[in-house]
Structure 1
């Protein structure tokens, strides 16, 4: 699917319980879709909504035992009944986001197609751990139905990041988009310390380490448990692979901050705003300070 050009839009978030942490209903201008967002503890109230009696596609979000983001993608003829089965069937999730249509425009084939596409995007991006054990192929759709489903998917992908779910966007695409939108940003930033050699870029919600960057295999004695677990998890998922005594990034990967990215590379604590530098040696901190000075 080609990259959709971002455009100004309006999104309405209705606080059904009157609180930001409560049940939320999300709608977007000129879109027939609707999302119901509920924490696990609120799911009983979500079941009472009419949207949950309709067909749709949903995600469950939570954390792995190591504290990494984890996701499950599913589809259902009746959203409420299916998600209810996961209350006792899956322990990891703390929130669900369920998408349906306000004009009954989603049928079984549509939601199966959306489920398959979301799983493909999440698996390809490899940013979150996936709880799904199978990855079904998309069902056959007519050219017109497939175009409609892709349009519905594109609108969903605008909403997910607003909820802190960036599992479906590859770090490669995000780095390229950010570079296009921020012409003043350096083409690339580099880290070269403690035997680690990395290349990365700033993105809107974090920092991307580029494929081919080399992390140090050894870890410092004082490395934080979280950093050690992050490195171990990335190795288990194949993002980091051993090569010639180092750990090489097999893909672009997005971290929450430049310091987390730097810490994974050097195997210990690191101030990413100082460790990452442009080709002339200017630190990320200096680059950010200069950028703010222009405002």
Structure 2
């Protein structure tokens, strides 16, 4: 188990997809060469299975290619905020420097308020 924990933390740090609460991986435990091969195979199988199910936990985030024509770029501009993002294979990427309102406004539709609450509970 410690070998798989060590491998998972090491992989998560390398791909820089997650902010880890426990980034201090234990020392790599001693396992035989054949056991290491089996454990790495198990880890890779789980990695593929998780990605297939929509949880690419150990896959790097797809890098967004920004075109000069702003093709596929979604933008929100109001008098108070400006935000840009792009739909990619892994989901939606919000670009650095984008802004969002901390609180809803009186004119906000109920379905957006409900969606916002739902998303906040999932984070």
Task: Please report the TM-score for the alignment, with normalisation by the length of structure 1.
Answer: 0.28
**2:62 alignment partner in structure 1:** 175
Q: What's the counterpart of residue 191 of structure 1?
A: 75
Pairing 1:1-295 to 2, within 5 Å after superposition? 111-119=1-9, 121=12, 125-126=17-18, 137-141=25-29, 148=37, 152-169=42-59, 173-176=60-63, 179=65, 189-194=73-78, 195-221=80-106, 222=109, 223-231=112-120, 234=123
Q: Contact 2:5/2:25 (CA < 8 Å) preserved in 1?
A: no
Which aligned segments of 4 or more residues in structure 1 are displaced greater than 6 angstroms?
A: none
Secondary structure, aligned partner of 1:137:
coil
Shift of 1:229: 4.2
CA distance in 2, matches of 1:219, 1:210: 21
> What residue ranges of structure 2 are gaps of 5+ in the alignment?
none
**Alignment deviations for residues 232-273 of structure 1 (CA, whole Å, 9 cap, x no partner):** 765xxxxxxxxxxxxxxxxxxxxxxxxxxxxxxxxxxxxxxx
Q: Given that residues 187 and 201 in structure 1 are in contact (C-alpha distance below 8 angstroms), is that contact kept between their aligned partners in structure 2?
A: no
For structure 1, list consecutive stretches of 5 or more residues without a partner in the other structure.
1-110, 235-295
Deviation at 1:160, TM superposition (A): 0.9
Q: CA deviation at 1:204?
A: 1.7
Alignment TM-score, normalising by the size of structure 2: 0.54
| Cα displacement string for residues 156-200 of structure 1 (whole angstroms, at most 9, x for unaligned residues) | 32221212323334xxx3322x75xxx9xx677242323332232
Deviation at 1:219, TM superposition (A): 1.3
Does the aligned pair in 2 maintain the 1:188–1:201 contact within 8 Å?
Answer: yes
RMSD: 4.3
